[in-house]
Amino acid sequence: MKIHIFCPESGSEVKVHIIYIIEGTGAIVNEKGEEQPLKAGDFALVMPDEKHQYRNKGDQPLKLICGVPKEFE
């Protein structure tokens, strides 16, 4: 398990996983550029081969826990 922290106006691509938002506000963006809002307390599931990116949409760090199945590490 990893904890990721995204500073304001940052984003990153990660592998197949489930995430839990610890703190902050952001969005998960799909390959079409569509955004799904995320806030503290939300979960998001990313399926195999689903291209995505996280974006910090707030003025504070976006902190999340990332659970990646062992076979995808």
Helices (H), 1-73: none
3-class secondary structure, 71: helix
Q: Write the CATH number of the domain with boundaries 2-57.
A: 2.60.120.10
Question: pLDDT digit of tens for each residue in the chain (73 aa)?
Answer: 556 666 656 555 556 678 899 999 999 999 999 999 999 999 998 887 788 888 999 999 999 888 877 765 5
59: left (phi over 0), alpha (psi -120 to 50) or beta: alpha
